[in-house]
Amino acid sequence: MTLGAAKILADEFADPLVGRIVAFLRQVGVPVEVASLDHETFLPGVAVAGGGLRVDPARLAWPGDLLHEAGHVAVGDPDRRDESVSDDPGEEMAALAWSFAAATHLGLDPSVPFHEGGYRGGGKALAEMFSQGGYVGVPMLAMWGLTHEPHRAKALGAPPFPHMLAWRRS
């Protein structure tokens, strides 16, 4: 990252964790735009729009929400990605797994995406499940060529989930 790029991120986001997550998302092809979100959003301070994220740093309650919402963009059906977040249960589970893989890639604790304020109080349970190798959503990621399920990776001699082969479904 150049000094100029670091300065832009510093100007956009006072929270260094948010800046770090946004830099990663942009690097893997998930567009992120800083915007004033005066309307209510599904998650405070972040909205999925136009195949990317709109983030209001003043209203963002949990930096890890960026990972989950970006997961929806990344795993969404490419033909519908620009429309909105799908209510498909497979895509929801895949977004959970994607956000864990992203957090792992960034060296973040699983409690960042799976925080106490999310998932109807089930964030801690999700963090524990993924940390112990319970990988809900991974079969979907593998089917789309984004990762290898652990049992198949071993046979292939390839790195298993949470290692990602690609970050966006194509």
Find the largest Cα–Cα distance for the chain: 50
List all residues 6 or more positions away from 137 whose beta carbon is below 8 Å from its beta carbon: 90, 92, 93, 94, 95, 96, 97, 98
Residue 165 resides in a domain: no
| pLDDT-above-90 percentage for the chain | 78
**Residue numbers of the domain that contains 18:** 3-156
- Residue pLDDT, tens place only, 25-54: 999 999 999 999 988 899 999 999 999 999
Residue 146 resides in a domain: yes
Residue 168 resides in a domain: no
Residue 161 resides in a domain: no
Residue 89 resides in a domain: yes
Residue 166 resides in a domain: no
What's the structural domain count of the chain?
1
Q: Which residues of the chain have pLDDT under 50?
A: 1-10
Residue 164 resides in a domain: no
- Residue pLDDT, tens place only, 128-138: 999 999 999 99
Residue 21 resides in a domain: yes
